[in-house]
Amino acid sequence: MSKLQTTSVRASIFTVGIIVSLAALQSSGKTQEFGDPVQGAILTQKICSTCHGVARGEASPNPAAPNFNHIAGIKGMSATALNVALLTPHHQMPNLILTSQERADVIAFILGLKEK
């Protein structure tokens, strides 16, 4: 086998390896993409309700904290945007440490508040 053929075979094997790896990552992440809005409601009531209005139409106890209806209604609000927001420290918000499943549950709950 020539040097060019060997390089081509290695490149093909490398490409297949990348494709298989990406497929595995994508399929393993799918279970965490979807949260349980019921669990999200329970969790937000427990840890978010001291500052945010969490139930549909509920005013926030802290006027500086938007209620979840408002957050859900922001144009372009998505699971990705909420995930980033939950992972990013905010000046007046406590540093929450949630598991990926808890974040998914909270996100599912908040997005479920969107007006249809």
CA 105 – CA 33 distance, rounded (Å): 9
* C-alpha of 93 from chain center: 18
pLDDT of residue 67: 96
pLDDT of residue 95: 82
CA 115 – CA 87 distance, rounded (Å): 25
pLDDT of residue 28: 44
Q: Return the number of other C-beta atoms located less than 10 Å from residue 92's C-beta.
A: 8
pLDDT of residue 12: 41
Q: Given CA atoms 85, 40, 93, 67 in this order, what sign does their dihedral have? A: positive
Tell me if the pTM is above 0.85: no
Q: What is the dihedral of CA 35, 36, 38, 42, to 10 degrees?
A: -50
In order along its 116 residues, the chain shows pLDDT tens digits of 655 544 443 444 443 334 444 444 444 444 446 899 999 999 999 999 999 999 998 999 999 999 999 999 999 999 999 999 999 887 788 888 899 999 999 999 999 998 76
